[in-house]
């Protein structure tokens, strides 16, 4: 029988194994993401608000996937366009909460990194309200700077610059 910490470790290892297989498959020129419905299920799991808010590990895995393989970035963008509540609930709302608890800092940093990558794709930018996201990140940056959370403030400025350049 697994206790809570053992179950969490088991789930993390299993998630990492799936991600490793996925990156390995996606690197092949013959691999077509759309031919594998399980990939959408996996992306849905990683972006689930309950999973991602409780476990920054899922966002770290997702960041790794979309950095490693453009096919996966485009698939996640397509998933977000098909499920706009995902962008709002999972990627935008966590950035609008204030004050932050210490355990939320890493999640906010990874969420910002994920948003920056996803919003680099014009088709997603066209389907979400970038101005609202921009305003939220700007407010987060100001709040973080006033509280001495330099890492968040720095990443916010980087994302704001990236949003402005597209």
d(CA 100, CA 112): 14
Query: What's the structural domain count of the chain?
Result: 1
What is the model's pLDDT at position 98? 86
Confidence at residue 2, expressed as pLDDT on a 0 to 100 scale: 54
Separation in Å, CA 66 to CA 61, 103, 116: 9, 24, 11
Alpha helix (H) ranges present in 27-121?
37-47, 49-54, 56-68, 70-82, 84-86, 93-96, 105-118
Chain-centre distance for alpha carbon 22? 17
Q: What is the per-residue pLDDT across 54-83, written as a single tens digit (0 to 9) for each?
A: 678 999 999 999 999 999 999 999 999 999
**Residue that the structure tokens 């759309």 belong to:** 34
| pLDDT classification of 3: cutoffs 50, 70, 90 | low
Buried-exposed string 16-26: b where 16+ CB fall within 10 A, e elsewhere: eebbeebeebb
Going by pLDDT thresholds of 50, 70 and 90, the confidence category of residue 86 is confident
Q: Nearest to residue 100, comparing CAs of 58, 53, 60?
A: 53
Q: Show the domain range for 25.
A: 4-165
pLDDT of residue 102: 84
Q: What percent of the chain has pLDDT over 90?
A: 72
Quickly tell me which residue has 């979309």 as its tokens.
66
State the pLDDT at residue 67.
94
CB atoms within 10 A of CB 98: 11
What the block records as the tokens of 16 is: 């990492």
Per-residue model confidence (pLDDT) at position 141: 97
């Amino acid at each position: 029988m697994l206790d809570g910490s053992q179950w969490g470790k088991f789930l993390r290892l299993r998630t990492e194994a799936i991600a490793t297989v996925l990156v390995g498959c996606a690197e092949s020129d013959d691999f077509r993401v759309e031919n594998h419905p399980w990939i959408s299920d996996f992306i849905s799991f990683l972006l689930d608000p309950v999973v991602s808010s409780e476990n920054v590990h899922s966002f770290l895995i997702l960041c790794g996937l979309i950095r490693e393989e453009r096919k996966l970035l485009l698939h996640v963008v397509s998933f977000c366009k098909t499920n706009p509540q995902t962008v709002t609930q999972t990627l935008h709302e966590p950035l609008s909460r204030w004050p932050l608890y210490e355990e939320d800092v890493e999640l906010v940093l990874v969420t910002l990194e994920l948003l920056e990558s996803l919003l680099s794709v014009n088709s997603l930018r066209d389907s979400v309200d970038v101005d609202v996201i921009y305003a939220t990140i700007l407010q987060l940056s100001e709040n973080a700077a006033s509280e001495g959370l330099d890492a968040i403030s720095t990443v916010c400025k980087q994302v704001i610059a990236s949003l402005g350049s597209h």
